[in-house]
Amino acid sequence: MAASLMIVGDADRVPIALREAMELEGYDVDAAGAAELALERLRAQGAPDVMIVDLLVGEMDAFTCIREVRRAHEVPILVVSGTEDTHDVVAALEAGADDFVTMPFETKEISARIRALRRRPHLGALPEDPVGEPPAEIVLDTDEHGALVLSPDGGVVRRGDDTVPLTITEFRLLCELAANPGRVLSRPLLLERAWDEGFFGDERLVDVHVRRLRTKIETDPSEPRIVVTVRGLGYRLDMPK
């Protein structure tokens, strides 16, 4: 059965050649010219295997569209942008996108990025050759709401009796850091391991996803105690004293 791909964007901006190239690669392509239409189709048909979202998608902005998709689905989302403006890129990633590419682009680059995103293991599956090996469950923190526990094999993070809703990428970042407590992991290493072996995305992806992760696991995200920034080097996971 062919993998499904939804392209959300104006046909005048997202080239027909892209759709044709993806169809030649075996994808069942569905083009939605507006974000509202894309969300209607997701509600009616469920999520596709992957989505491409243009930042200019009509009356509803792309950021709102991505946030709405993320409320219910873990589908990989690649953003297409007509500008390299850092604000737009970061806003799209913080809304829940997994990667971005700027116009003009080669269809082969889009194809390679989609393949990389789709190769990401499912929640709970660490790389075959991790830097370290975490135990079955790891207590990351404790506060008045209970212990923050990571279960790498179970694919879940809990705070007390409540599950912490992480995306696949956030979960894998946390697993990588937890496999190496006290050790600084560089952005390139995290990018390679939490996304895909040989992935060639922008290192800003790591920073944005770490910020999102902190909002979900830190008591005070502005003063992180679990995932700590080591300026100029990368990130480190500090275990509770």
Does 165 lie in the same domain as 101? no
Does 150 lie in the same domain as 56? no
30, part of any domain: yes
183, part of any domain: yes
The residue range of the domain holding 77 is: 4-118
Does 98 lie in the same domain as 24? yes
Q: What is the pLDDT along the chain (241 residues), one digit of tens a residue?
A: 678 999 987 766 666 777 888 888 888 999 887 888 889 999 998 989 999 998 876 566 788 889 999 888 878 898 887 766 667 777 888 888 888 887 777 777 788 888 877 765 444 334 444 445 545 788 988 877 789 999 888 888 999 888 888 877 788 899 999 999 999 999 988 887 776 554 556 677 788 889 989 999 998 999 999 999 999 999 999 987 6
Burial 10-49 (b: 16+ CB within 10 A, else e): eeeebbeebbebbeeeebebbbbbbbbebbebbeeeebbb
Does 112 lie in the same domain as 143? no
133, part of any domain: no
Query: In angstroms, how far is CA 188 from the centroid of its own chain?
Result: 16
Domains identified in the chain, total number: 2
128, part of any domain: no
132, part of any domain: no
Does 158 lie in the same domain as 77? no
Specify the CATH number for the domain of residue 151: 1.10.10.10
Specify the CATH number for the domain of residue 71: 3.40.50.2300
Residues in the chain: 241
